[in-house]
Amino acid sequence: MELARKKEEEMGAAERSGAAPSRAEGEPGGRISSAPDPEVRERPVRRRFTTEYKLRILEQADACTEPGETGALLRREGLYSSSLAMWRRQRREGILVGLSPKKRGHKGDDEATREIKHLRRENTALRRQLEQAKTVIEVQKKLSDMLGIALPETDPIEED
């Protein structure tokens, strides 16, 4: 058990995540290099942890009794103590859904809000069309007056 723990502590983050081990050139026996990859990604990737992983880490952290064991666990896993505290709070409150990664970003509008937005856009477009129609009617009236054409009398359109 002690040997397995020591081996796990010596593992790098890439090996724990399942990435292929890198081999340093010129090292006898093809030893695994512990040097980090110097290439920086163009855009950082947000880490996402599964519920099973979070619960496993919480169990390991709860099993730590000696001073410094929790810190060693966090360093080995590449975690922050704030993450551990947040996961403990979520477990204590029974928010199992909170332990799984949530989708980030705008949650979207509900059906009523979408309908209201649609109706407002439609209302604005119809008002614009009405103003154009009124302008055309006014121009027709002025043109008929100038040409001396008598228009039949009609009931005016009632406005709201």
What residue spans define the domains of the chain?
Answer: 47-101, 111-152
Lowest mean pLDDT among 35-44, 78-87, 150-159: 150-159
pLDDT of 132 > 90? The answer is yes
| Ramachandran category for residue 80: left, alpha or beta (phi over 0 → left; psi -120 to 50 → alpha) | beta
What tokens appear for 2 in the block? Answer: 């002690």
Neighbours of 54 (CB within 10 A): 22
CB 51 within 8 A of CB 97: no
Cβ-in-10-Å burial (0-12, 13-18, 19+) of 87 comes to buried
Average pLDDT for the chain: 77
0.85 surpassed by pTM: no
What per-residue confidence (pLDDT) applies to 146?
Answer: 87
pLDDT of 67 > 60? The answer is yes
Mean pLDDT of all residues in 36-54: 81
